[in-house]
Structure 1
């Protein structure tokens, strides 16, 4: 009976990870002593299948860490970049940190556009109730995040060229390039959040074991936290490596003599690699189905 249950659940849920099925089989030790209470030696079929679901979700969840490391740039290096740009519009000066408002505006814009326009069009093409699956939605968001950080790199290249042209490389002053050039990168990152983060929430809730939905939904916030730590670690490592031999490094106090664009391209490369890993993980992922 036990082995029949194992086959039934495995065919519907896992299709692999069958090595874990042995945890549900009563061994000679349990039969001899008649003690089946040790959960480290004997598990129920449901517990094993829930573990399989979590293991299959792990690669998809892990790719969210790099996305969070990219997303955190909107409140860190995007602001640092904006402080070295022209923040004036007539007599009004825009605080560099306030450019993140375009990230929020983008979210407010894309949420109804996605629900009212994109989903109905996608529904006709894919014949899916939600238009896109959660995995497809996350993949689109990862691609948009690559575009966002690439836009930031292009703006920085333009800013550095202007600083060199005006002989401002050795001067820690703002370059006469209007800060509104940062709007596209912030707007794109807002769109990436709408696709990726909402997709992650739906994915973790729908695909998690029924008894662990609240816990699995919290995985999103765990990936966000790890992404913040990863971003700090990358900045620390890059600063250490690029300041060897007395060089100013990629991210010095005076950005005019730095290479912040190179850092943005590095993050872009990591994002592209992360997206490729995600595509592989998404293709290999098997949706949870009801018995």
Structure 2
């Protein structure tokens, strides 16, 4: 009876009441579908304000344009970085289920604070007609500033927790020991990006229009109501969810293994006998760990990669607290091996940051009319969003099945190949952006408008070309990164590893700001006017900056190829090209 009950349950997973999750009742595409619907609402609530926040700060809070831009950059970067905290807490202490509920409640509170402030005139600076001495615009200060930043960073904390818990919660619903489960999980990540885009589409069109024409209290109110609605929808799927049991702090494990390896390597160099022989008790310890791993079905053995870390297990620790198991050691090795892949995606996200900075300013100088419709600059991201919404189902239903037939592999296109395709698209996008900027400035020169701020007689649809390439890059790389980090990470670190995708996005935003400052500093040292300074975009050398981004993206792609070609997938230890075919013959072992 006990054996039958064991076969009917998911080992290491529980339901929302913390009871063992049952096969056939918990998990699967139905459970993941609730996550996808919730993601539409969550991203709508976040982007409804983030995409247009700089206007709210400058126009209604009277913050200077440069300060407003910094506040928005810091807000968005912080939100994505806090995904690491959400992922860590989900892995270590709570489940992804409870982290989402806590985080959505925090984001709701922050949005409610911002809605109240936007609605009540007494909580905002006095309105002003201009910057004249008769009616000067006073920047938000005192308690009003505290309220503004309290609301913003409560939202950032909530968004971070949601981003760090919702994607792994959805991915946890699939059985990775079967080819069908792995295919469904891959489809989930594709449609997760699709749902991100669905929420973004409504945010940058309908909600932006509401904010510009009806008032920001309505924009914040819509976002508040949306995140509130997402909570009961998420709870509606509770009977179908299975969630991974928290396994303790993965950060503690990493530091323990690294500390043990460093101490034991130092000890080995200090003792000549430790170089040539290994004490008998270490063999027993390592063998004992291997036997225990086999009992758990992991068949864990020490690998030759990052061999210097092996002494964390093969030598007696200098302190009992540094005692490590072979499984802990191999888990840390896995994390260290995926870090170079993570670093190679930061440059791509730096390129994506241009979607909300210089690309918008480019389009703002051009003719933004489509017939009788005047398109607001803040709605320009609708182009990559629409393209992703078209490409995501096409990729899942057409491209992947075709690739499976050609490559005779389970996935068709592997995780690393997807990321690489996205990186190539980013190179093309920056080259296209540079060429479009050259054309835009040639039109300005031809019509004598270089020193003018008047709209140029050239359609903003030229800028849409770089948006399409960057949108393609985002689809391939973001979905590829999430699936790669989730699949390759140890079971105890999957939420934290998936959050690395968002951390890469945050670091890309920060790198964009750093690059602009470095470029201005260097170019300002040998010429009277830096490349990217001034109020008139026509006087910028933005095309040179884009060419620089193109070159840096190309160098980054070569760096990526170096690490991707050497990467061994965790599941089989085979090269990238052979991974999926081998999985047909040898299913992925459980952690």
Confirm or deny a common fold (TM above 0.5). Answer: yes
Among 3, 21, 24, the residue aligned to 2:313: 24
CA deviation map 1:5-47 (0-9, x unaligned) = 67x8456xx43111111111343866xxxxx3x12xx311111
Q: Could you tell me which residue of structure 2 aligns to residue 182 of structure 1?
A: 463
Contact 2:387 2:468 in 1 (8 A): yes
Q: Could you tell me which residue of structure 1 aligns to residue 486 of structure 2?
A: 205
Q: Could you tell me which residue of structure 1 aligns to residue 552 of structure 2?
A: 270
Superposition pairs of residues 85-234 of structure 1, within 5 angstroms: 85-234=366-515
| Cα distance between partner residues in 1 of 2:357 and 2:451 | 23
Q: How many residues align?
A: 281
CA deviation map 1:161-213 (0-9, x unaligned) = 11112222222332211101122211221111111000000000000011111
| Cα distance between partner residues in 2 of 1:214 and 1:57 | 14
State the structure with bigger RCO (CA 8 A, min sep 6), 1 or 2.
Answer: 1
The gaps in structure 2 that reach 5 residues or longer are: 1-283, 291-298, 572-588
| Cα distance between partner residues in 2 of 1:77 and 1:128 | 41
CA distance 1:170–1:216, change in 2 (3 Å): same
CA distance 1:240–1:28, change in 2 (3 Å): closer
Among 526, 531, 537, the residue aligned to 1:249: 531
CA deviation map 1:55-109 (0-9, x unaligned) = 1111001111111111111111110111111122333322122111011101101
- Asked if residue 56 in structure 1 is aligned to residue 345 in structure 2, the reply is no
Among 348, 373, 381, the residue aligned to 1:67: 348
Among 328, 332, 346, the residue aligned to 1:47: 328
Contact 1:10 1:16 in 2 (8 A): no
Q: Could you tell me which residue of structure 2 aligns to residue 33 of structure 1?
A: none
| Cα distance between partner residues in 2 of 1:169 and 1:253 | 12
| Cα distance between partner residues in 1 of 2:312 and 2:399 | 45
| Cα distance between partner residues in 2 of 1:183 and 1:28 | 59
Cα shift at 1:286 = 0.8
Contact 2:387 2:472 in 1 (8 A): yes
State which drifts further: 164-173 or 102-111: 164-173
Cα shift at 1:221 = 1.0
CA deviation map 1:96-127 (0-9, x unaligned) = 22111011101101110001110011101111
Look up the SS of the partner of 1:170 in the other structure.
coil
**TM-score, scaled relative to structure 2:** 0.46
| Cα distance between partner residues in 2 of 1:248 and 1:189 | 26
Q: Could you tell me which residue of structure 1 aligns to residue 183 of structure 2?
A: none
CA deviation map 1:132-158 (0-9, x unaligned) = 000001101111121122211111000
Superposed CA RMSD: 2.0
The gaps in structure 1 that reach 5 residues or longer are: 31-35
